[in-house]
């Protein structure tokens, strides 16, 4: 089907209609990922009244060469057009040097960023810790006593949530048609209800999760529900909704130009783990702030010590025992951010279907990319783009 025909008529033909049942499937996703607000309830994340000014200086990068998806030689221009990329912004030394949009996306259009949302949540944790709203070493139940009988009770701490080291029984299989991920998505409102399954909302569902017998802190185990619990912790710590916390403590202080928004369940609980929709330029602003040790527009928004901790710490042994070593064999994970290779400085926020914020401090480069890749996880595309990001950063550094 031609993706340009999807949702183009009023009303759309049946086979061109995006619904709750097909919105994450290609080609419907090319429309859905930039129109989430027409499909799901959302909460607004207000922008700054004084946005951080972006400067622009176009650089020719289309001929940057790197190994493609199957090992063949490709270049930046070709990769953009053959990888379901919806948009990309490249910054070097604080200046936008390349910007590209496709599939109806525009500079002022929010796009679903999936688990890049987690890195935003992890960054927010440092701000709340700095202002004594949050103790990362405290047990989860200090903030949410209702979690005592779940996997998040007992010795489970906020730090375990931040670092994905909860010993939880959960299989995060995005391609499954039943089981943990489907039940979780139903609780968030991301899946149509099933008449044969009792209805549940997100906070209710989180309380049903159980341990797998592994001690907390020992193994990196990527489970999205940990981040939703983290968002609930923030709400209890601050006494306000997650969307308002994010706007007040991060989105406005960093100088976001546009409102973002986040999906919410039937009770208003935010999908902290993967529900944020934001514009590419604001994602680039966020990445540039992280590259600059938490400073945006001359203001220290995120404490520098928190960013140092993200880049220098993390448990390499826990990572090596974890479930994403095929993605980053020598990687690490701290406060919802990936260290791509412990021997290098680059770190990243990554979401399924091809969402990235790639930050290379050594080469003063930030790359924000959004996509509607058909598969949730496609390592060939991910590794191709990782090679591409490195090649672009190298070109910019060498030509500076």
Q: Is 21 exposed, middle or buried (0-12, 13-18, 19+ CB in 10 A)?
A: exposed
Q: What is the pLDDT of residue 285?
A: 98
Whether pLDDT at 189 is above 80: yes
What is d(CA 299, CA 301) in angstroms, rounded to the nearest whole number? Answer: 6
The DSSP bridge partners found for residue 56 are: 96
Q: What is the pLDDT of residue 268?
A: 97
Chain centroid, CA 397 distance in Å: 27
Whether pLDDT at 227 is above 90: yes
Q: What is the pLDDT of residue 180?
A: 96
Q: Which two tokens stand for residue 398?
A: 């060498």
Instruction: Average the pLDDT over 210-230 and give the result.
Output: 98
Whether pLDDT at 195 is above 90: no
Q: What is the pLDDT of residue 198?
A: 84
Whether pLDDT at 307 is above 80: yes
**Strand (E) or helix (H) holding 182:** helix 180-188
Instruction: Average the pLDDT over 330-354 and give the result.
Output: 97
Q: What is the DSSP string of 54-119?
A: PEE-----TT-EEE-TTS-EEEHHHHHHHTTEEEEEEEETTEEEEEEE-TT--TT--EE-TTHHHH
Q: What is the mean pLDDT of the chain?
A: 97
Q: What is the pLDDT of residue 1?
A: 64
Kindly report, residue by residue over 164-177, the tens digit of the pLDDT: 999 999 999 999 99
Whether pLDDT at 80 is above 80: yes
Q: Among positive and negative, which fits the CA dihedral 185, 191, 195, 201?
A: positive
Q: What is the pLDDT of residue 196?
A: 83
Which residues are marked as active site?
115
Whether pLDDT at 311 is above 80: yes
Q: Are 397 and 363 in contact (CB under 8 A)?
A: yes
Q: Which two tokens stand for residue 353?
A: 């279907």
């Amino acid at each position: 089907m031609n993706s340009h025909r999807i949702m183009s008529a009023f009303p759309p033909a049946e086979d061109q209609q995006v619904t709750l049942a097909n919105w994450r499937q290609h080609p419907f996703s090319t429309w859905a990922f930039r129109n989430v607000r027409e499909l799901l309830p959302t909460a607004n994340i207000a922008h700054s009244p004084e946005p951080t000014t972006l400067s622009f200086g176009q650089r020719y990068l289309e001929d940057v060469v790197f190994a493609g998806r199957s090992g063949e030689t490709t270049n930046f221009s070709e990769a953009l057009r053959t990888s379901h990329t919806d948009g990309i912004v490249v910054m070097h030394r604080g200046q936008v040097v390349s910007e590209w949009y496709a599939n109806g996306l525009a500079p002022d259009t929010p796009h679903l960023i999936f688990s890049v949302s987690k890195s935003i949540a992890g960054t927010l944790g440092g701000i709340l810790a700095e202002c004594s709203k949050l103790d990362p070493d405290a047990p989860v139940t200090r903030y949410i006593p209702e979690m005592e009988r779940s996997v998040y009770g007992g010795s489970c701490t906020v730090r375990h949530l931040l670092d994905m080291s909860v010993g939880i029984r959960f299989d995060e299989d995005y391609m499954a048609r039943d089981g943990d991920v489907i039940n979780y998505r139903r609780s968030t409102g991301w899946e149509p209800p099933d008449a044969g399954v009792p209805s549940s909302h997100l906070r209710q569902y989180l309380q049903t999760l159980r341990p797998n017998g592994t001690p907390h802190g020992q193994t990196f185990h990527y489970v999205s529900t940990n981040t939703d619990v983290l968002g609930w912790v923030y709400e209890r710590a601050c006494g306000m909704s997650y969307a308002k916390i994010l706007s007040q403590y991060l989105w406005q202080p960093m100088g976001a130009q546009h409102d973002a928004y986040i999906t919410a369940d039937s009770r208003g609980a935010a999908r902290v783990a993967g529900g944020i929709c934001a514009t590419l330029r604001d994602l680039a602003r966020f990445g540039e702030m992280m590259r600059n040790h938490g400073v945006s527009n001359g203001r220290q928004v995120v404490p520098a010590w928190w960013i140092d901790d993200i880049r220098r710490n993390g448990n390499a042994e826990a990572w090596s025992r974890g479930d994403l070593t095929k993605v980053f064999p020598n990687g690490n994970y701290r406060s919802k951010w990936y260290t791509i290779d412990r021997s290098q400085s680059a770190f990243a926020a990554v979401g399924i279907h091809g969402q990235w914020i790639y930050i290379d401090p050594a080469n003063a480069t930030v790359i924000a990319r959004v996509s509607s890749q058909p598969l949730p996880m496609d390592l060939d595309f991910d590794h191709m783009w990782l090679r591409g990001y490195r090649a672009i950063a190298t070109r910019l550094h060498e030509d500076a």
